[in-house]
Amino acid sequence: MSTTHARAGVRRTVIRTLCVLVGMVGFTLALIPLYDVFCEITGLNGKTANSAQVVSAGEVDESREVRVQLVTRTGTGLSWQLQALDPVITVHPGEISQAMFRFSNRGDITSSGKAVPSITPSAGAEHFRKMECFCFQQQSLMAGETLELPLVFQIAPDLPEHIETLTLAYSLYPGDEDETVALGGAYD
């Protein structure tokens, strides 16, 4: 075995291995947008659309009832409370319904917050259609202010048969800081 021969072989193997490595780095980077696209199509991560949707056509299925549970929680860093006025509502698939939510700022400064929705089971996410939702943009509340905002939604008639209960969870997070500062400045 000549050493130059082996050396050329080593170089070839190293280059090929590095190509695989670069390929895997690219694959990892591609996974992020792929995951988002995949979830958007399938709704598998329980995310719903983040802009108003049109009413889905189809008959209201009076024979079927779906329980919609409304759950809320507040993330750290925001002194707000979010409450669903009716925690459980029963709807028929295809029917357009409304649920009211109460936002209250328990802090002593004006702040802004954003409610991020999530649907469980995730298979129901793409069938949960929102015509109007406070979750499309962030809210700003003055100290002690309370605000009631509606969610107008429809459960598409093609909701899979095995889903009898849908849980819609809203998590409140602090809004975009720049905006908060700007608003706060305006009121000072």
Partner 1 sequence: MASDTSQATVQVSTSAVAQGDGAHDSHGPTGILRWVVTTNHKEIGSLYLLFSLAMLFVGGSMALVIRTELFQPGLQFIQPEFFNQMTTMHGLIMVFGAIMPAFVGLANWMIPMQIGAPDMALPRLNNFSFWLLPVAFGILLSTLFMEGGGPNFGWTFYAPLSTTYAPPSTSFFIMSIHLAGISSILGAINIIATIFNLRTPGMRLMDMSLFVWTWLITAFLLIAVMPVLAGVVTMMLMDINFGTSFFNAAGGGDPVLFQHLFWFFGHPEVYIMILPAFGIVSLIVPTFARKRLFGYASMVYATAAIALLSFLVWAHHMFTVGIPLVGELFFMYSTMLIAVPTGVKIFNWIATLFRGSISFEVPMLFALGFIVMFTIGGLSGVMLAIVPADFQYHDTYFVVAHFHYVLVPGALFAIMAAAYYWMPKWTGYYASETLGKWHFWLSVIGVNLTFFPMHFSGLAGMPRRIPDYALQFADFNMLSSIGGFLFGFSQLIFVWVLIKAIRGSGEKAHAHAWEGADGLEWTVPSPAPLHTFDTPPPFDPLTESPSRH
- The gap from C-alpha 31 to its chain's centroid, in whole angstroms, comes to 19
Q: Is 42 helix (H, G, I), strand (E, B) or coil?
A: helix
181 is an interface residue for partner 1 by CB under 8 A: no
* Residues 166/124, Cβ–Cβ less than 8 Å: yes
24 is an interface residue for partner 1 by CB under 8 A: yes
* Residues 101/171, Cβ–Cβ less than 8 Å: no
State the Cα–Cα distance between residues 121 and 33, nearest whole angstrom.
23
Segment interacting with partner 1, rule: CB under 8 A, options 43-51, 54-62, 66-74, 82-90: 43-51
116 is an interface residue for partner 1 by CB under 8 A: yes
Cis amide leading into 93 (omega within 30)? no
Minimum distance from residue 116 beta carbon to partner 1 (Å): 5
Among positions 1, 41, 54, 57, the unique one binding partner 1 when judged by CB under 8 A: 1
Residues that bind partner 1 (CB under 8 A): 1, 6, 9-10, 13-14, 17-18, 20-21, 24-25, 27-29, 31-32, 35, 39, 44-47, 50, 75-76, 114, 116, 118, 120-123, 171, 173-174
